[in-house]
Amino acid sequence: MPIKSVLKATGAYLPEKVLTNADLEKMVDTSDEWIQQRSGIKTRHVAAEEQTTADLAIEAAKQALERSGLSPDYIDGVIVATTTPDQTFPSVAVKVQAALGIPAGLAFDVQAVCTGFVYALSVADNFIKTGQAKNIIVVGAEKMSSIIDWDDRTTCVLFADGAGAVVLSGNEAEDSVSAQGIHSTHLYAKGELRDLLYTDGGPSSTGQSGHIVMHGREVFKYAVTFMADAVNDALAENNVSAEDIDWLVPHQANIRIIEATAKKLNMSMDKVVVTVDHHGNTSAASIPLALNEAVEDGRVKEGDLLLLEAMGGGLTWGSALVRF
Ligand code: ACO
């Protein structure tokens, strides 16, 4: 029988500090009404100055590992999706590995901006399916506040900090979409659109990490089309329809993008996990954060069919179909 990567447990961490739209009104020329209307965001969490991405990732990974019931000795790998590592190197993943007392195995970061978690999940799934690893912790963690230009009202109202994690475990299962585990991942990139969303710096160019620059209107246009395409590819490959999906767990960039994608798929918003209102856009952390919240509050149950989808800088985009 083939091996499927089963989502054994989820975990999350959000920094204590909450930044409201009213707080942002005092910092830049904006309004609660504009932010809510254009993005759906009301509040977001922001890390303390001394808190790094690894600090957030470690807390989320620790919770997922504890809930999985696995000993650190059984973890074969840690993969962290992040755009905001503590240092150029070593990776955030090796810090997570050390902090959790995982004695050996692989550890590395994946960088695909807001699509990072879907990319990392796909990489981990392939290690597990081929038998090269049995248990892998996949984390999405970001301190987006560290690359925001806090004087730029077009971006500073959107991005936020946090971390989410899952433990994936290889299990022999029948080759049917009714089996638990990841059934497909689809990853895409279109480098010619990289100038729509980028940081104006980096280690080998300016020597600084730079700040986010985004051409929001154009990104918005591509986001709806690309995410709907990625979702349709997942449905077609698995021979399932949108009605078979119990929960759509989208990247939380903007409520209008989420609603437009759901509409394109003819899916009711009752089947969509939405956290953008209180998380903001946490880039690679947004999907595992949303998933963990829906698991914790009982919306997502064992056996549910989940469709994850994301789109971000690169441009990159992708989807994953998972039986929880
Ligand atoms: N407060 C008040 N006014 C503002 C603000 C603000 N914070 N920001 C911009 N405006 C103004 C603009 O200057 C513009 O004014 P003008 O008409 O006088 O020029 C007006 O509001 C409209 O601006 P738009 O950019 O056209 O607004 P839009 O409706 O497109 O919303 C937004 C902007 C929220 C950024 C939207 O375009 C969006 O969500 N884009 C996609 C973001 C995304 O999905 N990113 C991908 C993932 S992120 C990643 O990978 C890192």
Concatenated DSSP letters of 212-272: EEE-HHHHHHHHHHHHHHHHHHHHHHHT--GGG-SEEEE--S-HHHHHHHHHHTT--GGGB
Query: Which atom of ligand 1 is nearest to 113's Cα?
Result: 50
Domains of the chain: 3-172 (3.40.47.10), 181-323 (3.40.47.10)
Q: Output the DSSP codes for 123-160.
A: HHHHHHHTTS-SEEEEEEEEEGGGS--TT-HHHHTTB-
Token digits for 140? 């999405």
Nearest residue CA, atom 46 of ligand 1? 312
Q: How far is the CA of 174 from the centre of ligand 1 (A)?
A: 46
CA distances from 86 to 51, 91, 141 (A): 9, 8, 11
Residue 173 CA to residue 150 CA, distance in Å, equals 49
Q: Look at residue 115 in the predicted model and tell me its pLDDT.
A: 98
Within 6 A (CB) of ligand 1 lie: 30, 34, 38-39, 113-114, 153-154, 157, 197, 216-217, 219-220, 223, 253-254, 257, 281, 283, 311-313
- C-alpha–C-alpha distance, residues 15 and 59, integer Å: 10
- Give the mutation target among 42, 209, 217 for probing the ligand 1 site: most ligand atoms within 8 A of CB: 217
Q: Can you give the pLDDT at residue 265? A: 86
Ligand 1, atom nearest to 256 Cα: 39
Report the residue among 154, 190, 211, 311 best suited for mutation to probe ligand 1: largest number of ligand atoms under 8 A from its CB.
154
CA distance 218 to 193: 10
Q: Give the model's pLDDT for residue 264.
A: 87
Distance 158 CA to ligand 1 centre (A): 9
Q: Among the options 45, 183, 186, 251, which is catalytic?
A: 251
Cα distance between residue 145 and residue 111, in whole Å: 17
Catalytic residue among 21, 135, 254, 281: 281
Q: Which atom of ligand 1 is closest in space to residue 316's alpha carbon?
A: 50
Paired sense of beta strands 77-81 and 106-110, if any: parallel
**What pLDDT score was predicted for residue 96?**
98
Q: What's the CA-to-centroid distance between 180 and ligand 1, angstroms?
A: 39
Known catalytic membership, residue 114: yes
CA angle 105/111/114 to nearest 5° reads 125
315 pairs with which residues across the strands? Answer: none
Q: How far is the CA of 154 from the centre of ligand 1 (A)?
A: 5
Q: Which strand ranges, in their side-by-side order, compose the sheet holding 135-143?
A: 3-13, 161-172, 135-143, 77-81, 106-110
**Active site residue: 45, 114, 135, 183, which one?**
114
Q: What are phi and psi of 313, to 5 degrees?
A: -55, 145
Q: How far is CA 319 from the centre of its chain?
A: 11
Q: How far is the CA of 142 from the centre of ligand 1 (A)?
A: 21
Q: What's the chain's length in residues?
A: 324
Q: Is 251 one of the catalytic residues?
A: yes
Distance CA 263, CA 109 (A): 34
The residue contributing the CA closest to ligand 1 atom 44 is 253
CA distance 118 to 61: 16
Classify each residue of 212-235 as buried b or exposed e, where b means 16 or more C-beta atoms within 10 Å of its C-beta.
bbbebeebbebbbebbbbbbebbb
The pLDDT tens digits along the chain (324 residues) read 899 999 999 999 999 999 999 999 999 999 999 999 999 999 999 999 999 999 999 999 999 999 999 999 999 999 999 999 999 999 999 999 999 999 999 999 999 999 999 999 999 999 999 999 999 999 999 999 999 999 999 999 999 999 999 999 999 998 899 999 999 999 999 999 999 999 999 999 999 999 999 999 999 989 989 988 999 999 999 999 999 999 999 999 999 999 998 998 889 999 999 999 999 999 999 999 999 999 999 999 999 999 999 999 999 999 999 999
